[in-house]
Structure formats: structure tokens, C-alpha cells
């Protein structure tokens, strides 16, 4: 980070715009693939989550940030503090009732060289964290990373990081996650 926090503020601004755009595209992708919004869970300025259903009655729930714990884990009797000293909050989490699968989506975008790229290397801890919380519920976990243009443009320089991520069971995508990658 640059002196006086300038680098961090720029990264946060770029990240917020990327998160909002990718969320809008993700919701649209579900709708294009036969899922209709059944409800949203209000949460102040933005929703805490969205519930979708398709014509086969498959229900998919989308959770944002802290809502994964408040609306998914805690009502099922799972408290992160029973397992970990700090709580992680994903950008987006998608739970498929049919497939009993929780897909965690971490979104990363930056405009120049910096520490955001280093966060990709936390993939094994994130997988351990969510797998541990899902184990008592007998739910499978998938970890997706949705990466912005910087990562696509610099993928050769990040090759070893991407190989490491794949070796730890994480998948990464540039810009959009193809709908058929979701286990629903």
C-alpha cells in the first residue's frame, strides 16, 4: 500500500465496481438459465441474499458477505467461532439445495501491481475454513475466484500462483464464471 493509504483506497474502489458488475451479471446469468428470483433478504442499503427457483423446483440461495453466517450457517447450528478465531466472509456464496453444494466466490480486481494478487494464495485456507463449517452439514464446497482484467493481462507473471490455486482445489475465472461451472 502507498503512503497515506492511497493504494488501498484505489484498490477498494476498483474492487467495489467489479463486485457490483459481476453480481449483476451473475443474477442475469441465473435468470437466463431458467431460474427466477423468488425472494430477496433485505439488509440495509443492499440485499443480504437472493433465493432463486427453476421450473424443476430446484432452489438456489445466494448469500453476500456476513449473511452467509447469519442466514445459512448459524440457523443450521454451525458457528464459525467454534472452529476458528476469525470469521471469513465471502463476496458471494451460492447454496444448491438439490446438489447440497456451497460455492464460495471470491472476487478480486486491481488496477496495478499490489498485494491483492497475494490474496489468491490464501485459497487453501479458505477451502479449509468453508469445508470445516460444511462438514457437519454434509455439504460439498467449491471455491471459485472471479478475477478482473489485471489478472488476465498478467496471467503469465502469475502462472505459479494459478498452478498453486488449482493444486489446492480452487478454480479461477477471468471476468465471468460460466454458468455450467456451478454444481446446481
Structural domains in the chain, CATH included, are: 3-181 (3.40.91)
**Taking the model in full, what pTM does it have?**
0.90
Rounded CA separation 165/123 (Å)? 6
Rounded CA separation 120/55 (Å)? 37
Give the model confidence (pLDDT) of 37-87 as tens digits: 999 998 877 789 999 999 999 999 999 999 999 999 999 999 999 999 999
CA angle 94, 12, 5 (to 5 degrees): 150
Does 31 have pLDDT greater than 70?
yes
> What are the φ/ψ torsions at residue 135 (nearest 5 degrees)?
-55, -50
Q: Which segment of 16-30, 89-103, 123-137 scores lowest on mean pLDDT?
A: 16-30
Does 14 have pLDDT greater than 60?
no
Q: Which segment of 73-77, 110-114, 153-157 scores lowest on mean pLDDT?
A: 110-114
Does 5 have pLDDT greater than 60?
no
Beta-bridge partners for 103: 94, 142
Q: Which residues contact residue 113 at a Cβ distance below 8 angstroms, ignoring those fewer than 6 apart?
A: none
Give the pLDDT score at 8: 53
Give the pLDDT score at 140: 98
Rounded CA separation 94/139 (Å)? 12
Q: How confident is the model at residue 20 (pLDDT cuts 50, 70, 90)?
A: confident
Rounded CA separation 48/65 (Å)? 8
Amino acid at each position: 500500500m502507498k503512503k497515506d493509504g492511497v493504494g488501498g483506497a484505489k484498490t477498494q474502489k476498483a474492487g467495489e465496481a467489479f463486485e457490483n458488475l459481476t453480481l449483476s451479471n451473475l443474477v442475469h446469468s441465473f435468470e437466463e438459465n431458467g431460474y427466477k428470483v423468488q425472494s430477496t433478504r433485505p439488509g440495509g442499503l443492499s440485499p443480504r441474499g437472493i433465493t432463486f427457483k427453476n421450473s424443476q423446483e430446484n432452489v438456489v440461495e445466494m448469500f453476500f458477505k456476513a449473511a452467509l453466517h447469519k442466514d445459512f450457517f448459524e440457523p443450521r447450528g454451525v458457528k464459525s467461532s467454534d472452529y476458528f478465531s476469525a470469521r471469513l466472509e465471502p463476496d458471494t456464496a451460492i447454496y444448491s439445495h438439490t446438489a447440497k453444494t456451497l460455492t464460495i466466490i471470491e472476487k478480486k480486481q486491481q488496477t496495478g501491481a499490489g498485494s491483492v494478487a497475494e490474496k489468491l494464495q490464501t485459497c487453501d485456507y479458505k477451502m479449509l475454513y468453508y469445508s470445516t463449517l460444511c462438514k457437519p452439514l454434509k455439504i460439498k464446497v467449491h471455491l471459485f475466484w472471479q478475477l478482473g482484467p489485471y489478472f488476465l493481462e498478467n496471467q503469465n507473471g502469475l502462472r505459479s500462483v494459478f498452478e498453486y490455486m488449482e493444486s489446492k482445489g480452487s478454480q479461477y475465472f477471468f471476468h465471468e464464471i460460466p454458468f455450467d461451472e456451478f454444481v446446481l
